[in-house]
A and B are shown apart, each in its own frame.
Chain A
Amino acid sequence: RKEVEQDPGPFNVPEGATVAFNCTYSNSASQSFFWYRQDCRKEPKLLMSVYSSGNEDGRFTAQLNRASQYISLLIRDSKLSDSATYLCVVNGGGGGNKLTFGTGTQLKVEL
């Protein structure tokens, strides 16, 4: 089983739709979780951290389910500008802050 697993997509959705991505992780000792956004041929940028209690930032909501070892990202009212690849990132702990990146889920928002 991969350490961090994501559906590669692409998810093709119309503008205004709600879309959700899941990401599973294998290390039950993982301590911190993030969603990064990566535009085509650009560097990843932090979208949001994922807290145990769940957190929301505008149209974006992140959830953590430790029992089932997955995190989710919900995007409401999708915009064309949301088209990107969303990377699930997990910190397994230990020294050096070694993060494990998923391969990403591609989202395409269409008119």
Chain B
Amino acid sequence: NAGVTQTPKFRILKIGQSMTLQCTQDMNHNYMYWYRQDPGMGLKLIYYSVGAGITDKGEVPNGYNVSRSTTEDFPLRLELAAPSQTSVYFCASSTRTGVASVLTFGAGSRLTVL
């Protein structure tokens, strides 16, 4: 049982390049999330999904896109990378929402845009 798997772990991009961060979970969780974490800041929600085919914006969606074609996969697309997108990205999933919800995180993807 791998939990939440993110790839790549590290990536350096040039300004204007695009890339996709992959996220897969094998726990059959309905809810999936993408967060970014900047130094000294709390995790910020980029996008989330409550099930296959349904996605919604979080707090900081600009410059990103997501899709959720299956329960397992929730890729995050960066279009036209900018230095402000240098961050650590965490994918997470949960089995439910509300008072009993608990997030399981992937190991993170460290992205640098130069």
Q: Interface residues, chain A, CB within 8 Å of chain B?
A: 4, 8, 31-32, 34, 36, 41-46, 49, 87, 91, 93, 95-104
Contacts and interface: CB of A to CB of B under 8 A. Distances in A.
A103 B50 contact: no
A4 B100 CA distance: 19
B53 interface: no
Interface of B: 31, 35, 40-45, 48, 50, 56, 58, 90, 94, 96-103, 105-108
Given A4-B42, A36-B103, 14 more contacts: A8-B40, A32-B100, A32-B101, A42-B107, A42-B108, A44-B103, A46-B102, A49-B100, A49-B102, A87-B43, A96-B31, A97-B96, A98-B45, A104-B42
Which residue, B44, B56, B90, B101, has most C-beta atoms of chain A within 10 A? B101
Nearest to B30: A97
Contacts of A36: 103
A69 B56 CA distance: 29
15 contacts: A31-B98, A42-B107, A43-B107, A43-B108, A45-B105, A46-B103, A49-B102, A96-B56, A97-B48, A97-B96, A98-B48, A98-B58, A99-B101, A102-B42, A104-B42
A101 B98 contact: no
Contact of A100 (B31, B42, B97): B42
Contacts of A101: 35, 42-44
Contacts of B42: 4, 87, 100-104
A102 B107 CA distance: 19
